[in-house]
Structure 1
Amino acid sequence: MATEAAADTATNDASASPDSPEGWRVKLYQLNDDGQWDDRGTGKIRVDHAEALGTPCVHVVSEESSRDLVTSRITEDRDAYSLQGESIITWEERRGAQGSLDLALSFQENEGCMQIWHQIQEIQGRLTTGFGNTNIEADGPMPEEWPVGPPPSLPECRLANLDEIHRHLSSATNNREQYAAALLSEDGVYVKTLLDVFSDCEDLEDTANLTIIANIAKSLVLLNDMSLMEYLLTTELYSKVVGCLEYSTDLKHKADHRKSLETAAKFQEVVPMNEIIREKILLNFRATFLKDIVTRPGMDEASTSTLSSFVFFNNSEILSSLHTNCDLLKRVVEELKSQALTNASDSKERNFQSRSGALCFLKEMCNTAKNVQITCRDALFHHLVEETDFFQAITLVLEDADNMPLSERLMSAELLSNAVCWDGAASFRKHVLNSGGHPPIPPSDSKNQGEAGGTDKASSLLWHVVRLITSESDTGVLLHLLDVVKTCLDTEPMEPSERDKFLALFYDHYIKWLVDPVLPNEKDDSDRPVTDTVSVPTSPERMTMQGYVCDLLSSCVRTHTYRMKYFVLGNRIVGRILSLADTDDKFLKLAAIRFVRSIIGVKDDFYNRYLVKNGLLAPLFVLLKTVAHKDCLLTSAIVDMADHIRTENIKALVEHIVEKYSDSFDQVEHVDTFKNLVLKHEQNTESGASLQVSDTNGPPTKEEHRMKVAQEDDDEAYFDTADETVDEAAEAAAQAEEGSTEVDMAEFKPRPTSPPADTSATANTSLGRMFDIESRQSGKDQKQMLGVRKIECLSDWEPGQNSDLNSESNGDSMEAEKRQKLCPND
């Protein structure tokens, strides 16, 4: 009882600091299973008595919701708590059978951290010793009569005592803080003397004692004391500490870390920075090198938890300092812009060195930001993207990509990918829409050959990304740039207005420049809209590029409806991609199969009719014949496609595949997919025959007519607003309906696809008047019929077929002219 009363007295007196009546402001972190610190919120901390627990506790209350973030009972175990630097306290919160949690408090004020630390130490001392009711001030010194025990005694630091020193430090589990304090006393003279002994042993090549000193250095790291760790990382001692650990018995051969530090590790400043940031960066590099390289063979992550925490919180402080009350990041971006604008012929080597340094700085910054709390990361990227000219700088860098070494292209692509993925490409799309400099429509578009020009004036960031995709030979650069395009085309996070503007821009100005140089061209494979500066990659590199572009188009098919449909049907994309199935590259064949699988997966009748009409599935079943005897990935991909068609009962494709390619089925014996597909076709045929018998019993009912018209309306809804010619015709028809102008609607009359039926039975009904092809249709009917004609032209195109509609002998030149406007020669 005396112990608890004394602890309560110290708690009450310590919490009543006049400088912090509401508690000190802190951030609470929790170590996750991946070894990363998760941000649990910001609040105010106090050390007070918890009635529920009956003991003094560390109590943190959220400053946003006033809820308890943590209430942690202060234990007697001094090793459970650790002071890291002057602003961080970490401890292990034991939960009994549920295990334990590693928690950390990061204080806004160093004074608050030290005050809370002294309170915890005082309360632990009273709980341990049962010392009486002495009134202790919160920030006052510890009473001299407090029996905290004598400090541990270390043997004299000399060569003869190395074994005894190692024995003391390796068994310091319960006295880590005391040993660390003893080592740091008198300005760390004990550690300096130990390192001097190491230098003497190394000069004498005393391998036995060097091994003992390596074990002592390892024990110093395992003390996990932050103050001692910071002392070991200083410039004066670090090299010798690393040298000691080179002789560790955990290594098969002696390491040479010091040589690496001297030759390879050179600190370079892209722009001048203040001394505090520079020192933190140096300390972080040394701590990371010590944790990941020097001590890695013999120690796990838990053994070096102090180093991990030191690196994590130091990274957070460094990144915060880059954009808080500091213009360093802005100066780095400006340096990147200025070096990108420098004439390379003036000082090409110096230009690359400076530009490479700026890119490397930003790349390392982004990689470091991945391992800090999300609030810090968001603040950093917001500053980079919104408050600097980052996108303009990276545009200038990519503009010179043809003259850049691979390392700079890779860093530029990775840096852009990180910045774009941060906010789902919202900032990137905004920049592209507002910047201008878009490329013209490619000259391969026959309608616009006279209007299309070169790409000399194209200067947008998206244009340089697309240009590099079609010319890049390195897979790493290619993947980063494709991630940029794929992310910016993801329509799910977009606002409707932004989605329409950006997709219209991409499909009007960019997609053909992305596809035409990559996919085979039916007329002439060399006839591609590429600039003079773009070089054609070698065959394996080109096939890799084609595979990735096919996957990008597959994603567009799934997410972009009518725009992608027009592009696929109007540019013979399916046939051009399926021609890749004839290559020897398995990856490319699978990419072609995935694209067709995406086409079928959207369940669009126009796509299905297009595949059937032009026999576009033939290459896949030719491929199936060649690999059917193997149970390989190609066979599985084709079987999966066929199984999807059967499961969804896409009747047009079921009938087409069974009737045209059934000779390929017998060779696939390890699965029943194709047998079930034939069975499904037979069921559909029987069902269709029964429907035909019922149809002969009488004319279609009004309800059947209504359902058919409604289905056709739904099919054409995709195209009502997508074609300018259709819109003009609809507007003219609407004006005729209102009586505002005289328009001969017979000019828009569709070509009958079957002999006209006897309309006498329905002439007096509204439905009969609607489908009377001799009558004047309303504006809505005209718009639907023109849409049908447009879709018929698109879905009837065959690969390589010239779609000159004037060649059809229908005896109506005016109609042929209108059809030519709707379905021009592609």
Structure 2
Amino acid sequence: NGAATRRRVKLYMLNEERQWDDKGTGHVSSVFVESLNGIALLVVSEADGSTLLESRIQPDTAYQKQQETLIVWSEAESMDLALSFQEKDGCDEIWGKICSVQGKDPSVEITQDVVDEDNPEEGDDTESETGSACGQPPATDSLVLPPCELSWLGDLVKVVTSPSVLSIVGKRERLVGSLLRQGYLRRVCTDLFRQAEEADDRKSLGQLHEVIRNIFYLNNKSVFEVMFADDVILDVIGILEYDPAKPVKANHREFLLNRSRHCEVLPIQKADLRSKIHQTFRVQYIQDCILPTPSMFDDNQFSELSSFLFVNKVSILNDINNDDKLMTMLFACLRDKSNSAERRLELTMFLKELCNFSCLLEPPEKDLFFKSLMQHQALDCLTPLYSKSCTQLRSALTDILFAFVDHSPVLLRDHMLKETSQDNHQLLINVLIQQMCSDPDPEMGDALRLAGLIRILVDPESMLTNSQPSN
């Protein structure tokens, strides 16, 4: 009859392989079950009359109605169930019963604010014995998140901190997919945070901190790309200021925007390069100063974050090195004798930072970088600067020379050999020896470093393995 057809369902259960098992086709009703002491969903098999399901409607269980003919819920942490109805009217009827028990409006699509891992797909092609299809199980490629509103933050916290989600790779991936879908994560980081901070809603701000902190542990590249976008990253940093475990709010944004000195040593014309430099500085700050240090047992905890920084630094170095106008300007400024001590130090520290980034390059790219420095006569620019009195400047110069030697001592040996044929030229090797002998440090820190540099340059063993004329 019509009632039987309306209530005809397929029962599905999610197995350990995250696939939906068909537990049979039957007819569902909501009845009072004395043994369960409450209203229950009862599914009786149409094949043999056996009971396929007897599940009490719990007041705090999250039931979801999906695509008009599907009801999904978790019976326990490890048991996910779904009823796929043959007709929409039958689904509406049972959904009304569930909402009535829980005191919810039947117009809602989720009765509680917990995660549901399942999403329905369209009906399958499998026919029953009577030729009618009851649909197919929900897909497992996403998690259903609560509405992106301040009042639902507590439920979002439950989702992103759930051990059953974070400990299983498949569930983590589905959580990532849901966060990225329709700009959900961006709205959490920007819209919700700005609303909460403007209202000084400390409870919501603490919940946002819990959400974002745990999202970092997802360690996902696509998530980081959203969170570190130019119009989002400062909001993310702002959220991380409101750690409910600390009595005093941090001031990370005030430090980054006002107290940290962003010095543009050279005019960078490319807006995307300038943006990437600022982004890299802020992400590095998050990694070094805000996030907890990964334990020695979990070095890969923030591996994608480190990878994000790595790619950015390589891109920055390549963009600068490929900008011949910018590189020419750098060394022209270093040669300018009218520079103030502060300006000389800024330029030298900039070059030192480029050399530090070079250790991230692949050997062919690294070789091109140092050859570019030699073409701009970098060593000729640096040698006279050793005569300056600034200790920080001389230490940076030594760091730059070590970068050359670590890449290839032959570069410095060739340069020193060429110097001997030039008149009225201050030899770099003599400058290094002089600096080593006149180190004012009682512990001879700089002298020992310079001695190590010279030893590498004159080490006969390293020369024997190379047929370069300078050796």
Cα displacement (A) at 1:359: 1.2
Pairing 1:466–2:468 present: no
Corresponding residue of 2:157: 166
CA contact (8 A) 1:333 1:390 kept: no
Match of 1:483 in 2: 452
1:355-404 CA-partner distances (Å, limit 9, x unpaired): 2222112211222223444444333223323x321111112322xx23x4
User: What secondary structure, in the 3-state scheme, does the structure 2 residue paired with 1:492 have?
Assistant: helix
Q: Find 1:395's aligned residue among 371, 383, 403.
A: 383
Which residue in 1 is equivalent to 2:291? Answer: 295
Counterpart AA for 2:146: P
Deviations 1:236-293 (A, max 9, x none): 1111211211223565754322122112051524243533433333332232222222
What amino acid sits opposite 1:477 in the alignment?
D
| C-alpha deviation, 1:495, in angstroms | 5.0
Q: Structure 1: how far apart are the matches of 2:369 and 2:399?
A: 17
Check 1:194–1:412 CA distance in 2 against 1; reply closer, same or farther (3 A cut): closer
The structural deviation recorded for 1:500 is: 10
Q: Which residue of 1 aligns with 2:303?
A: 305
2:345 corresponds to which letter in structure 1? S
Relative to structure 1, is the Cα distance of residues 376 and 293 closer, same or farther in structure 2, using a 3 angstrom cutoff?
farther
**Deviation at residue 164 of structure 1 after TM alignment:** 0.1
Aligned match for 2:402, one of 404, 417, 437: 417
In structure 2, the CA distance between the partners of 1:315 and 1:298, relative to structure 1 (3 Å rule), is closer
The answer to whether 1:367 aligns with 2:356 is yes
The verdict on how the C-alpha distance between 1:499 and 1:236 changes in structure 2, with shifts beyond 3 A counting, is closer
Quick one: which of 346, 356, 375 aligns to 1:357?
346
1:266 paired to 2:257: no
- Distance change >3 Å, CA 383–CA 343, structure 1 → 2: closer
Identity %: 23
Which residue of 2 is the match for residue 113 of structure 1? none
Q: Distance in 1 between matches of 2:370 and 2:432?
A: 20
Q: Residues 496 and 266 (structure 1 numbering): CA distance in 2 closer, same or farther, change over 3 Å? A: closer
Q: Which amino acid aligns with 2:415?
A: H
Change (3 A) 1:198 1:496: closer
**Which has the higher Rg, Structure 1 or Structure 2?**
1
Provide the residue aligned with 2:417 in structure 1: 433
Q: Residue 469 of structure 1 contacts residue 481 of structure 1 at CA under 8 Å; is this kept in 2? A: yes
Q: CA deviation at 1:416?
A: 1.5
1:157 aligns with 2:148: yes
The amino acid that maps onto 1:191 is: R
Amino acid at match of 1:362: L
> Of 324, 327, 330, which aligns to 2:324?
327
Change in Cα spacing, 1:281 to 1:470, as seen in structure 2 (3 Å) is: same
Which residue of structure 1 aligns with residue 43 of structure 2? none
**Which residue identity does 2:417 align to in structure 1?**
L
Q: Is contact 1:438–1:458 with CA below 8 Å preserved after alignment?
A: yes
Q: Which TM-score applies when normalising by structure 2?
A: 0.60
1:234 to 229, 235, 260: 229
Amino acid at match of 1:492: E
Contact 2:161 2:214 in 1 (8 A): yes
Give the residue type in structure 2 aligned to 1:311: L
Q: Give the aligned partner of residue 257 of structure 1.
A: 252
**Structure 2 CA distance for partners of 1:150 and 1:391, relative to 1, 3 Å:** closer
Shift of 1:152: 2.7
Q: Does the 8 A contact of 1:169 with 1:219 survive in 2? A: yes
Question: How well do the aligned residues superpose, as a CA RMSD in angstroms?
Answer: 3.6
* Match among 266, 274, 280 for residue 284 of structure 1: 280
**What amino acid sits opposite 2:252 in the alignment?**
H
Structure number having the greater strand percentage: 2
Cα distance 1:279–1:200, how it changes in 2: closer, same or farther (>3 A)?
Answer: closer
**Counterparts in 2 of 1:204 and 1:147: CA distance versus 1, 3 Å:** closer
More helix by share: 1
Q: Aligned-pair distance for 1:467?
A: 1.9
Q: Which residue of structure 2 aligns with residue 338 of structure 1?
A: 335
Call closer, same or farther: CA 1:413–1:157 in 2, change over 3 Å. same
How many pairs align? Answer: 329
Contact 1:417–1:480 under 8 Å retained in 2: no
**What is the rounded CA distance, in whole Å, between the counterparts of 2:263 and 2:181 in structure 1?**
31
Aligned partners of 1:211 and 1:247 also within 8 Å: yes
Give the conservation status (yes or no) of the 8 Å contact 1:202–1:210: yes
2:396 aligned counterpart, secondary structure:
helix
Partners of 1:226 and 1:158 in 2: CA distance: 25
Task: After superposition, give the CA deviation of every residue in 1:595-646 in whole Å (9 maximum; x if it has no partner).
Answer: xxxxxxxxxxxxxxxxxxxxxxxxxxxxxxxxxxxxxxxxxxxxxxxxxxxx
The whole-number CA distance in structure 2 between the counterparts of 1:165 and 1:499 is 64
1:405 aligned to which of 383, 390, 399: 390
Equivalence for 2:373: 384
